[in-house]
Chain A
Amino acid sequence: MRPFAYEAAADADGAVAALARGTAAARYLGGGTNLVDLMRLGVEQPELLVDVTRLAHGAIEPLDGGGLRIGAEVRNSDCAADRAVRERFPVLAQALLAGASGQLRNLATTAGNLLQRTRCAYFQDVSKPCNKRAVGSGCPAIEGDHRNLAILGHSEACVATHPSDMAVALAALGARVVVRGPGGERTIAMPGLHRLPGDEPERDTVLEHGDLITAVEVPGLPWATRSRYRKVRDRASFAFAVVSVAAALDVDEAGGTVRDARLALGGVAHVPWRALAAEDALRGAPATRESFEAAAEAELAAAEPLRDNAFKVSLAHNLIVRTLLELAGA
Protein backbone atom coordinates (compact mmCIF):
# COMPACT_ATOMS: atom_id res chain seq x y z
CA MET A 1 0.00 0.00 0.00
CA ARG A 2 1.42 3.33 -0.85
CA PRO A 3 1.27 6.14 1.69
CA PHE A 4 -1.83 8.29 1.56
CA ALA A 5 -3.19 11.33 3.28
CA TYR A 6 -6.30 11.03 5.39
CA GLU A 7 -8.95 13.64 6.06
CA ALA A 8 -12.13 13.29 8.01
CA ALA A 9 -14.66 15.55 6.33
CA ALA A 10 -17.07 17.42 8.57
CA ASP A 11 -19.86 17.86 6.04
CA ALA A 12 -20.83 16.92 2.50
CA ASP A 13 -19.57 20.12 0.91
CA GLY A 14 -16.29 19.76 2.75
CA ALA A 15 -15.96 16.18 1.55
CA VAL A 16 -16.66 17.08 -2.07
CA ALA A 17 -14.22 19.97 -1.88
CA ALA A 18 -11.55 17.83 -0.24
CA LEU A 19 -11.83 15.21 -2.92
CA ALA A 20 -11.80 17.82 -5.67
CA ARG A 21 -8.53 19.18 -4.26
CA GLY A 22 -6.97 15.74 -4.48
CA THR A 23 -5.81 14.03 -7.62
CA ALA A 24 -7.75 11.46 -9.55
CA ALA A 25 -6.38 8.99 -7.01
CA ALA A 26 -8.46 10.37 -4.15
CA ARG A 27 -11.26 8.24 -2.71
CA TYR A 28 -14.06 8.57 -0.23
CA LEU A 29 -13.74 6.17 2.66
CA GLY A 30 -16.84 4.52 4.08
CA GLY A 31 -16.45 1.48 6.27
CA GLY A 32 -13.41 0.57 4.22
CA THR A 33 -14.40 -3.07 3.95
CA ASN A 34 -14.02 -3.02 0.20
CA LEU A 35 -11.66 -0.09 -0.34
CA VAL A 36 -9.06 -1.10 2.25
CA ASP A 37 -9.27 -4.68 1.02
CA LEU A 38 -8.54 -3.52 -2.55
CA MET A 39 -5.78 -1.20 -1.37
CA ARG A 40 -4.07 -4.09 0.35
CA LEU A 41 -4.30 -6.04 -2.90
CA GLY A 42 -2.81 -3.13 -4.83
CA VAL A 43 -5.95 -2.79 -6.93
CA GLU A 44 -6.71 0.63 -5.50
CA GLN A 45 -3.84 3.03 -4.82
CA PRO A 46 -5.31 6.26 -3.55
CA GLU A 47 -3.14 9.17 -2.43
CA LEU A 48 -5.90 10.70 -0.36
CA LEU A 49 -8.76 9.20 1.60
CA VAL A 50 -11.63 11.44 2.61
CA ASP A 51 -13.48 9.77 5.44
CA VAL A 52 -17.21 10.29 4.94
CA THR A 53 -18.47 8.36 7.95
CA ARG A 54 -18.65 11.42 10.16
CA LEU A 55 -20.95 13.53 7.99
CA ALA A 56 -24.55 13.88 9.02
CA HIS A 57 -25.81 11.07 6.78
CA GLY A 58 -26.32 8.45 9.40
CA ALA A 59 -30.09 8.45 9.75
CA ILE A 60 -33.10 6.73 8.22
CA GLU A 61 -35.99 9.14 7.77
CA PRO A 62 -39.53 8.70 6.48
CA LEU A 63 -40.50 10.16 3.11
CA ASP A 64 -43.94 11.21 2.02
CA GLY A 65 -45.90 8.31 0.58
CA GLY A 66 -44.41 5.65 2.80
CA GLY A 67 -40.90 5.81 1.45
CA LEU A 68 -37.63 6.01 3.36
CA ARG A 69 -34.53 8.10 2.98
CA ILE A 70 -31.51 6.08 4.05
CA GLY A 71 -28.42 8.10 4.79
CA ALA A 72 -25.29 7.13 2.89
CA GLU A 73 -23.40 6.45 6.11
CA VAL A 74 -26.00 4.23 7.67
CA ARG A 75 -24.29 0.96 8.48
CA ASN A 76 -25.72 -2.12 6.79
CA SER A 77 -26.50 -3.73 10.15
CA ASP A 78 -28.43 -0.68 11.37
CA CYS A 79 -30.36 -0.48 8.14
CA ALA A 80 -31.33 -4.14 8.36
CA ALA A 81 -32.40 -3.75 11.99
CA ASP A 82 -34.41 -0.60 11.35
CA ARG A 83 -38.09 -1.13 12.17
CA ALA A 84 -39.41 0.83 9.23
CA VAL A 85 -37.14 -0.97 6.78
CA ARG A 86 -38.17 -4.35 8.16
CA GLU A 87 -41.84 -3.55 8.03
CA ARG A 88 -42.11 -1.67 4.76
CA PHE A 89 -39.35 -3.30 2.72
CA PRO A 90 -38.62 -6.79 4.03
CA VAL A 91 -36.76 -7.53 0.79
CA LEU A 92 -34.21 -4.87 1.65
CA ALA A 93 -33.67 -6.05 5.22
CA GLN A 94 -33.30 -9.63 4.00
CA ALA A 95 -30.86 -8.66 1.26
CA LEU A 96 -28.69 -6.82 3.77
CA LEU A 97 -28.79 -9.71 6.21
CA ALA A 98 -27.87 -12.15 3.47
CA GLY A 99 -24.67 -10.23 2.78
CA ALA A 100 -21.23 -10.63 4.31
CA SER A 101 -21.09 -11.23 8.08
CA GLY A 102 -22.35 -9.56 11.25
CA GLN A 103 -19.06 -7.85 11.87
CA LEU A 104 -18.65 -6.66 8.28
CA ARG A 105 -22.20 -5.29 8.19
CA ASN A 106 -21.35 -3.21 11.24
CA LEU A 107 -18.66 -1.45 9.23
CA ALA A 108 -20.21 -1.42 5.76
CA THR A 109 -22.15 1.69 4.75
CA THR A 110 -25.06 2.16 2.36
CA ALA A 111 -22.97 4.07 -0.17
CA GLY A 112 -19.97 1.81 0.14
CA ASN A 113 -22.11 -1.26 -0.36
CA LEU A 114 -23.54 0.13 -3.61
CA LEU A 115 -20.09 1.01 -4.87
CA GLN A 116 -18.22 -2.14 -3.86
CA ARG A 117 -16.36 -3.63 -6.77
CA THR A 118 -16.54 -7.01 -8.44
CA ARG A 119 -15.18 -10.13 -6.72
CA CYS A 120 -13.84 -11.50 -10.01
CA ALA A 121 -10.58 -13.25 -9.06
CA TYR A 122 -8.69 -11.71 -11.98
CA PHE A 123 -9.74 -8.20 -11.04
CA GLN A 124 -8.39 -8.81 -7.55
CA ASP A 125 -5.03 -10.19 -8.67
CA VAL A 126 -2.76 -7.42 -9.92
CA SER A 127 -0.32 -9.93 -11.37
CA LYS A 128 -2.88 -10.86 -14.03
CA PRO A 129 -4.56 -8.99 -16.87
CA CYS A 130 -8.01 -7.47 -16.35
CA ASN A 131 -9.73 -4.89 -18.49
CA LYS A 132 -11.58 -3.47 -15.56
CA ARG A 133 -8.43 -2.86 -13.56
CA ALA A 134 -5.83 -2.33 -16.29
CA VAL A 135 -7.60 -0.97 -19.33
CA GLY A 136 -6.93 -2.97 -22.47
CA SER A 137 -4.97 -5.75 -20.78
CA GLY A 138 -7.54 -8.41 -21.63
CA CYS A 139 -10.08 -10.55 -19.82
CA PRO A 140 -8.67 -13.90 -18.75
CA ALA A 141 -11.94 -14.86 -17.09
CA ILE A 142 -13.51 -15.59 -20.47
CA GLU A 143 -11.13 -18.53 -20.93
CA GLY A 144 -10.46 -19.05 -17.25
CA ASP A 145 -12.48 -19.45 -14.09
CA HIS A 146 -15.89 -17.91 -14.65
CA ARG A 147 -18.24 -20.34 -13.01
CA ASN A 148 -19.65 -17.58 -10.86
CA LEU A 149 -19.51 -14.73 -13.38
CA ALA A 150 -22.09 -13.15 -15.66
CA ILE A 151 -24.77 -14.74 -17.81
CA LEU A 152 -26.49 -11.51 -18.81
CA GLY A 153 -25.29 -8.25 -20.32
CA HIS A 154 -21.60 -9.07 -20.41
CA SER A 155 -19.24 -8.00 -23.16
CA GLU A 156 -16.12 -9.27 -24.83
CA ALA A 157 -14.20 -6.96 -22.55
CA CYS A 158 -15.65 -8.07 -19.23
CA VAL A 159 -17.78 -10.82 -17.75
CA ALA A 160 -17.67 -9.66 -14.14
CA THR A 161 -20.68 -9.48 -11.83
CA HIS A 162 -21.68 -6.92 -9.25
CA PRO A 163 -21.47 -8.50 -5.84
CA SER A 164 -23.89 -6.46 -3.74
CA ASP A 165 -27.04 -8.04 -2.34
CA MET A 166 -28.46 -4.76 -1.10
CA ALA A 167 -28.23 -3.26 -4.58
CA VAL A 168 -30.44 -6.02 -5.98
CA ALA A 169 -33.20 -5.19 -3.51
CA LEU A 170 -32.81 -1.47 -4.18
CA ALA A 171 -32.97 -2.07 -7.93
CA ALA A 172 -36.21 -4.00 -7.48
CA LEU A 173 -37.62 -1.23 -5.31
CA GLY A 174 -36.67 1.48 -7.81
CA ALA A 175 -34.62 3.40 -5.29
CA ARG A 176 -33.09 6.79 -6.09
CA VAL A 177 -29.50 7.56 -5.25
CA VAL A 178 -28.89 11.11 -4.10
CA VAL A 179 -25.54 12.39 -5.28
CA ARG A 180 -23.63 15.55 -4.43
CA GLY A 181 -20.99 16.42 -6.99
CA PRO A 182 -18.78 19.39 -7.67
CA GLY A 183 -21.69 20.68 -9.81
CA GLY A 184 -24.38 20.30 -7.14
CA GLU A 185 -26.94 17.67 -6.24
CA ARG A 186 -28.73 15.21 -8.49
CA THR A 187 -30.68 11.99 -8.24
CA ILE A 188 -30.02 8.75 -10.10
CA ALA A 189 -32.73 6.12 -10.35
CA MET A 190 -31.81 2.50 -9.62
CA PRO A 191 -31.01 0.32 -11.45
CA GLY A 192 -29.44 3.14 -13.50
CA LEU A 193 -26.55 3.73 -11.09
CA HIS A 194 -24.59 0.72 -12.29
CA ARG A 195 -23.75 0.20 -15.94
CA LEU A 196 -23.06 -2.73 -18.21
CA PRO A 197 -19.40 -3.22 -19.09
CA GLY A 198 -19.58 -2.67 -22.88
CA ASP A 199 -16.17 -1.54 -23.98
CA GLU A 200 -15.59 0.54 -20.87
CA PRO A 201 -15.51 -2.12 -18.14
CA GLU A 202 -13.35 0.10 -15.96
CA ARG A 203 -16.49 2.13 -15.20
CA ASP A 204 -18.79 0.36 -12.75
CA THR A 205 -21.30 3.18 -12.43
CA VAL A 206 -22.44 6.40 -14.04
CA LEU A 207 -20.88 8.44 -11.24
CA GLU A 208 -18.11 10.91 -12.04
CA HIS A 209 -14.99 11.32 -10.00
CA GLY A 210 -15.79 13.39 -6.95
CA ASP A 211 -19.46 12.47 -6.78
CA LEU A 212 -20.53 11.84 -3.20
CA ILE A 213 -23.54 9.69 -2.42
CA THR A 214 -25.43 11.30 0.44
CA ALA A 215 -28.53 9.12 0.62
CA VAL A 216 -30.65 6.48 -0.98
CA GLU A 217 -34.38 7.16 -1.25
CA VAL A 218 -36.71 4.21 -1.40
CA PRO A 219 -40.07 5.39 -2.71
CA GLY A 220 -43.21 4.19 -0.98
CA LEU A 221 -44.59 0.91 -2.29
CA PRO A 222 -47.32 -0.33 0.01
CA TRP A 223 -47.40 -3.85 -1.41
CA ALA A 224 -43.66 -4.25 -0.86
CA THR A 225 -44.63 -5.62 2.54
CA ARG A 226 -45.08 -8.75 0.44
CA SER A 227 -41.50 -8.97 -0.77
CA ARG A 228 -38.54 -11.17 -0.21
CA TYR A 229 -34.93 -11.78 -1.03
CA ARG A 230 -33.70 -15.26 -1.77
CA LYS A 231 -29.99 -15.87 -2.20
CA VAL A 232 -28.37 -19.09 -3.38
CA ARG A 233 -24.73 -19.51 -2.51
CA ASP A 234 -22.12 -22.23 -2.32
CA ARG A 235 -21.82 -22.08 1.46
CA ALA A 236 -24.68 -21.84 3.94
CA SER A 237 -23.63 -18.36 5.03
CA PHE A 238 -20.88 -15.76 4.57
CA ALA A 239 -20.57 -16.20 0.82
CA PHE A 240 -21.43 -14.10 -2.18
CA ALA A 241 -24.45 -15.00 -4.27
CA VAL A 242 -24.35 -17.53 -7.04
CA VAL A 243 -27.76 -16.23 -8.01
CA SER A 244 -30.18 -14.16 -5.99
CA VAL A 245 -33.67 -12.83 -6.49
CA ALA A 246 -35.36 -9.79 -5.02
CA ALA A 247 -39.07 -9.84 -5.59
CA ALA A 248 -42.24 -8.07 -4.55
CA LEU A 249 -45.66 -9.17 -5.68
CA ASP A 250 -49.03 -7.45 -5.70
CA VAL A 251 -51.77 -10.00 -6.23
CA ASP A 252 -55.42 -9.23 -6.67
CA GLU A 253 -56.67 -11.86 -4.28
CA ALA A 254 -60.20 -11.84 -5.64
CA GLY A 255 -59.27 -12.41 -9.27
CA GLY A 256 -56.04 -14.28 -8.54
CA THR A 257 -54.14 -12.11 -10.97
CA VAL A 258 -50.89 -10.22 -10.60
CA ARG A 259 -51.56 -6.50 -10.34
CA ASP A 260 -47.90 -5.57 -10.25
CA ALA A 261 -44.53 -7.12 -9.61
CA ARG A 262 -40.96 -6.10 -8.95
CA LEU A 263 -38.16 -8.44 -9.75
CA ALA A 264 -34.38 -8.13 -9.83
CA LEU A 265 -31.55 -10.67 -10.06
CA GLY A 266 -28.17 -10.69 -8.38
CA GLY A 267 -25.02 -12.59 -9.26
CA VAL A 268 -25.85 -12.65 -12.96
CA ALA A 269 -24.56 -9.40 -14.43
CA HIS A 270 -22.29 -6.39 -14.10
CA VAL A 271 -25.28 -4.62 -12.58
CA PRO A 272 -28.05 -5.58 -10.21
CA TRP A 273 -30.34 -6.90 -12.95
CA ARG A 274 -33.84 -5.49 -12.92
CA ALA A 275 -36.01 -8.07 -14.64
CA LEU A 276 -38.29 -5.73 -16.59
CA ALA A 277 -39.28 -8.29 -19.19
CA ALA A 278 -40.44 -10.63 -16.46
CA GLU A 279 -42.31 -7.86 -14.69
CA ASP A 280 -44.11 -7.03 -17.95
CA ALA A 281 -45.05 -10.64 -18.45
CA LEU A 282 -46.39 -10.86 -14.90
CA ARG A 283 -48.59 -7.80 -14.90
CA GLY A 284 -52.16 -8.90 -15.44
CA ALA A 285 -51.27 -12.58 -15.63
CA PRO A 286 -52.82 -15.17 -13.32
CA ALA A 287 -50.72 -15.77 -10.24
CA THR A 288 -49.83 -19.32 -11.20
CA ARG A 289 -46.73 -21.40 -11.69
CA GLU A 290 -47.26 -21.24 -15.47
CA SER A 291 -47.22 -17.44 -15.48
CA PHE A 292 -44.16 -17.37 -13.25
CA GLU A 293 -42.37 -19.80 -15.51
CA ALA A 294 -43.28 -17.73 -18.56
CA ALA A 295 -42.01 -14.60 -16.83
CA ALA A 296 -38.71 -16.26 -15.94
CA GLU A 297 -38.33 -17.46 -19.50
CA ALA A 298 -39.10 -14.02 -20.88
CA GLU A 299 -36.31 -12.56 -18.79
CA LEU A 300 -33.74 -15.26 -19.32
CA ALA A 301 -34.21 -15.49 -23.07
CA ALA A 302 -31.45 -12.91 -23.25
CA ALA A 303 -29.03 -15.00 -21.20
CA GLU A 304 -25.70 -15.85 -22.81
CA PRO A 305 -23.97 -18.19 -20.43
CA LEU A 306 -20.24 -18.73 -20.56
CA ARG A 307 -18.58 -22.15 -20.96
CA ASP A 308 -18.99 -23.13 -17.31
CA ASN A 309 -22.00 -21.25 -15.99
CA ALA A 310 -25.02 -22.39 -17.96
CA PHE A 311 -26.35 -23.81 -14.71
CA LYS A 312 -26.95 -20.26 -13.54
CA VAL A 313 -29.63 -19.81 -16.17
CA SER A 314 -31.60 -22.77 -14.82
CA LEU A 315 -30.89 -21.70 -11.29
CA ALA A 316 -32.15 -18.17 -11.93
CA HIS A 317 -35.21 -19.59 -13.62
CA ASN A 318 -36.05 -21.91 -10.76
CA LEU A 319 -35.36 -19.27 -8.16
CA ILE A 320 -37.63 -16.72 -9.82
CA VAL A 321 -40.48 -19.22 -10.02
CA ARG A 322 -39.96 -20.45 -6.48
CA THR A 323 -39.78 -16.98 -4.97
CA LEU A 324 -42.86 -15.78 -6.81
CA LEU A 325 -44.77 -18.88 -5.78
CA GLU A 326 -43.83 -18.29 -2.17
CA LEU A 327 -44.93 -14.67 -2.39
CA ALA A 328 -48.17 -15.60 -4.10
CA GLY A 329 -48.87 -18.11 -1.38
CA ALA A 330 -47.96 -15.72 1.42
Chain B
Amino acid sequence: MQPVMTEIALTVNGREARLAVDTRTSLLDLLREHLDLAGAKKGCDHGQCGSCTVLVDGRRANACLALAVAHQGAEITTVEGLAGGEELHPLQQSFVDHDAFQCGYCTPGQLCSGVAALAEARAGWPSAVTADLAADAVALDAAEIRERMSGNICRCGAYPGIVAAVAEQAAR
Protein backbone atom coordinates (compact mmCIF):
# COMPACT_ATOMS: atom_id res chain seq x y z
CA MET B 1 0.00 0.00 0.00
CA GLN B 2 1.33 3.42 -0.95
CA PRO B 3 2.02 5.83 1.89
CA VAL B 4 -0.37 8.74 2.09
CA MET B 5 1.56 11.99 1.83
CA THR B 6 0.11 15.29 3.01
CA GLU B 7 1.45 18.83 2.75
CA ILE B 8 1.69 20.48 6.10
CA ALA B 9 2.93 23.81 7.36
CA LEU B 10 3.84 24.51 10.93
CA THR B 11 6.11 26.80 12.87
CA VAL B 12 9.03 25.27 14.68
CA ASN B 13 11.08 27.44 17.01
CA GLY B 14 9.79 30.51 15.21
CA ARG B 15 10.61 29.26 11.72
CA GLU B 16 8.00 28.11 9.29
CA ALA B 17 8.38 24.58 7.98
CA ARG B 18 6.45 23.40 4.96
CA LEU B 19 6.80 19.86 3.80
CA ALA B 20 5.02 16.73 2.66
CA VAL B 21 4.74 14.15 5.41
CA ASP B 22 3.60 10.57 5.58
CA THR B 23 0.35 10.55 7.58
CA ARG B 24 2.01 7.98 9.87
CA THR B 25 4.86 10.29 10.84
CA SER B 26 4.77 11.39 14.45
CA LEU B 27 5.57 14.94 15.40
CA LEU B 28 8.65 13.50 17.08
CA ASP B 29 9.94 11.76 13.96
CA LEU B 30 9.14 14.86 11.93
CA LEU B 31 11.41 16.89 14.19
CA ARG B 32 14.15 14.32 14.52
CA GLU B 33 14.28 12.71 11.11
CA HIS B 34 13.02 15.44 8.78
CA LEU B 35 13.83 18.79 10.37
CA ASP B 36 17.16 17.75 11.90
CA LEU B 37 16.00 18.85 15.34
CA ALA B 38 17.23 15.97 17.44
CA GLY B 39 16.74 17.77 20.75
CA ALA B 40 13.44 16.07 21.53
CA LYS B 41 14.31 12.49 22.41
CA LYS B 42 12.72 9.13 21.76
CA GLY B 43 12.78 7.12 24.95
CA CYS B 44 9.79 4.85 24.44
CA ASP B 45 7.64 6.06 21.53
CA HIS B 46 4.54 5.22 23.59
CA GLY B 47 3.90 8.21 25.85
CA GLN B 48 5.44 6.50 28.84
CA CYS B 49 8.66 8.43 29.49
CA GLY B 50 8.25 12.08 28.52
CA SER B 51 11.63 12.35 26.75
CA CYS B 52 9.83 13.62 23.66
CA THR B 53 8.04 16.46 25.43
CA VAL B 54 7.82 19.65 23.35
CA LEU B 55 5.61 22.70 23.53
CA VAL B 56 2.68 22.74 21.13
CA ASP B 57 1.10 26.18 21.01
CA GLY B 58 2.79 26.82 24.32
CA ARG B 59 1.52 23.65 26.02
CA ARG B 60 3.62 20.60 26.78
CA ALA B 61 2.80 17.48 24.83
CA ASN B 62 4.33 14.09 24.05
CA ALA B 63 5.52 14.43 20.48
CA CYS B 64 5.72 10.66 20.05
CA LEU B 65 1.96 10.17 20.21
CA ALA B 66 1.11 13.30 18.26
CA LEU B 67 0.71 12.82 14.53
CA ALA B 68 2.42 15.46 12.44
CA VAL B 69 -0.56 15.75 10.07
CA ALA B 70 -2.81 16.61 12.95
CA HIS B 71 -0.63 19.62 13.76
CA GLN B 72 -1.22 21.71 10.70
CA GLY B 73 -0.56 25.33 11.63
CA ALA B 74 0.75 24.55 15.12
CA GLU B 75 3.54 26.45 16.81
CA ILE B 76 6.10 24.03 18.13
CA THR B 77 8.90 24.87 20.52
CA THR B 78 11.61 22.30 21.13
CA VAL B 79 14.53 22.44 23.53
CA GLU B 80 16.55 24.02 20.71
CA GLY B 81 14.13 26.94 20.77
CA LEU B 82 14.23 27.68 24.50
CA ALA B 83 17.43 29.69 24.66
CA GLY B 84 17.53 33.22 23.32
CA GLY B 85 20.58 32.96 21.10
CA GLU B 86 23.67 32.52 23.25
CA GLU B 87 21.75 33.22 26.42
CA LEU B 88 20.35 30.16 28.09
CA HIS B 89 16.73 30.10 29.16
CA PRO B 90 16.71 30.64 32.94
CA LEU B 91 15.50 27.09 33.52
CA GLN B 92 18.33 25.74 31.38
CA GLN B 93 20.76 27.67 33.54
CA SER B 94 19.14 26.32 36.69
CA PHE B 95 19.47 22.79 35.32
CA VAL B 96 23.19 23.37 34.82
CA ASP B 97 23.59 24.93 38.26
CA HIS B 98 21.76 22.13 40.08
CA ASP B 99 23.27 19.27 38.09
CA ALA B 100 19.73 18.33 37.11
CA PHE B 101 20.90 15.63 34.70
CA GLN B 102 23.53 13.01 34.18
CA CYS B 103 23.31 11.34 30.78
CA GLY B 104 21.17 14.19 29.50
CA TYR B 105 18.81 12.02 27.49
CA CYS B 106 15.68 12.93 29.43
CA THR B 107 16.80 16.54 29.79
CA PRO B 108 15.21 18.19 26.74
CA GLY B 109 11.87 16.70 27.76
CA GLN B 110 12.36 17.74 31.37
CA LEU B 111 13.15 21.29 30.28
CA CYS B 112 10.14 21.69 28.02
CA SER B 113 7.99 20.07 30.66
CA GLY B 114 9.41 22.32 33.36
CA VAL B 115 8.85 25.48 31.36
CA ALA B 116 5.23 24.45 30.81
CA ALA B 117 4.71 23.31 34.39
CA LEU B 118 5.80 26.74 35.59
CA ALA B 119 3.32 28.37 33.23
CA GLU B 120 0.53 25.99 34.29
CA ALA B 121 1.09 26.85 37.92
CA ARG B 122 1.12 30.53 37.12
CA ALA B 123 -2.25 30.05 35.41
CA GLY B 124 -3.54 28.51 38.63
CA TRP B 125 -3.89 24.95 37.37
CA PRO B 126 -4.18 22.48 40.23
CA SER B 127 -2.41 19.13 40.39
CA ALA B 128 -3.16 15.79 42.00
CA VAL B 129 -1.46 16.94 45.20
CA THR B 130 -3.11 20.36 45.41
CA ALA B 131 -5.02 20.29 48.68
CA ASP B 132 -7.42 23.12 47.91
CA LEU B 133 -8.88 22.73 44.43
CA ALA B 134 -10.80 25.93 44.78
CA ALA B 135 -7.74 28.09 45.38
CA ASP B 136 -6.86 30.58 42.67
CA ALA B 137 -3.14 30.37 43.03
CA VAL B 138 -0.87 27.41 43.59
CA ALA B 139 2.44 27.60 45.36
CA LEU B 140 4.99 25.35 43.71
CA ASP B 141 6.47 23.57 46.70
CA ALA B 142 8.57 20.47 46.30
CA ALA B 143 5.58 18.11 46.43
CA GLU B 144 3.82 20.08 43.69
CA ILE B 145 6.89 20.13 41.50
CA ARG B 146 7.49 16.41 41.91
CA GLU B 147 3.93 15.58 40.94
CA ARG B 148 3.89 17.96 37.99
CA MET B 149 7.21 16.66 36.70
CA SER B 150 6.30 12.99 37.07
CA GLY B 151 5.51 12.54 33.40
CA ASN B 152 9.23 12.77 32.70
CA ILE B 153 11.17 9.70 33.72
CA CYS B 154 14.85 10.10 34.53
CA ARG B 155 16.59 6.76 34.85
CA CYS B 156 19.76 8.46 36.04
CA GLY B 157 17.76 9.68 39.03
CA ALA B 158 18.44 13.39 38.68
CA TYR B 159 15.11 14.22 40.32
CA PRO B 160 16.41 16.23 43.28
CA GLY B 161 18.31 18.52 40.91
CA ILE B 162 15.31 18.84 38.63
CA VAL B 163 13.07 19.79 41.56
CA ALA B 164 15.63 22.32 42.79
CA ALA B 165 15.97 23.85 39.33
CA VAL B 166 12.23 24.20 38.80
CA ALA B 167 11.82 25.52 42.34
CA GLU B 168 14.46 28.15 41.68
CA GLN B 169 12.50 29.40 38.68
CA ALA B 170 9.19 29.19 40.51
CA ALA B 171 10.63 31.47 43.17
CA ARG B 172 11.63 34.14 40.67
Contact = CB atoms under 8 A, between A and B. Distances in A.
Query: Do A and B touch each other in the complex, judged by CB within 8 A?
Result: yes
Interface of A: 1-6, 8, 29, 31-33, 36-37, 40-41, 49, 51, 53, 77, 80-81, 86-87, 90, 93-94, 97-98, 100-104, 106-107, 236-238
A3 B23 contact: yes
Contacts of A104: 47, 62, 65, 151
Contacts of A41: 46
Contacts of B127: 97, 102
B133 A100 contact: no
Contacts of B65: 31-33, 36-37, 104, 107
Nearest to B120: A102
Interface string B39-81: 0000001110010010010011110011101101000000000
Given A3-B23, A4-B23, A90-B133, A98 B128 contact: yes
B151 A238 contact: yes
Contact of A3 (B24, B46, B66, B130): B24
Given A4-B24, A103-B61, A237 B150 contact: yes
A8 B113 contact: no
Interface in B108-129: 113, 116-117, 120, 123-128
Given A51-B70, A103-B60, A94 B117 contact: no
B74 to A, nearest CB: 11
A103 B67 contact: no
Most chain A beta carbons < 10 A, residue from B1, B3, B150: B150
Given A49-B23, A102-B117, 12 more contacts: A1-B24, A4-B23, A51-B70, A81-B123, A81-B124, A87-B133, A90-B133, A101-B50, A102-B116, A103-B151, A107-B65, A236-B150
A-B pairs, top 4 by smallest CB distance, nearest first, are A101-B151, A237-B150, A103-B60, A97-B128
Contacts of A238: 150-151, 153
B134 A87 contact: yes
B92 interface: no
B67 A107 contact: no
B4 A4 contact: yes
Contacts of A31: 65-66
B125 A107 contact: no
A238 B22 CA distance: 31
Contacts of A81: 120, 123-126
A93 B23 contact: no
B140 to A, nearest CB: 13
Given A6-B23, A87-B134, A101-B50, A29 B151 contact: no
11 contacts: A6-B6, A51-B70, A77-B120, A81-B120, A81-B123, A86-B126, A87-B133, A94-B133, A103-B113, A103-B151, A107-B66
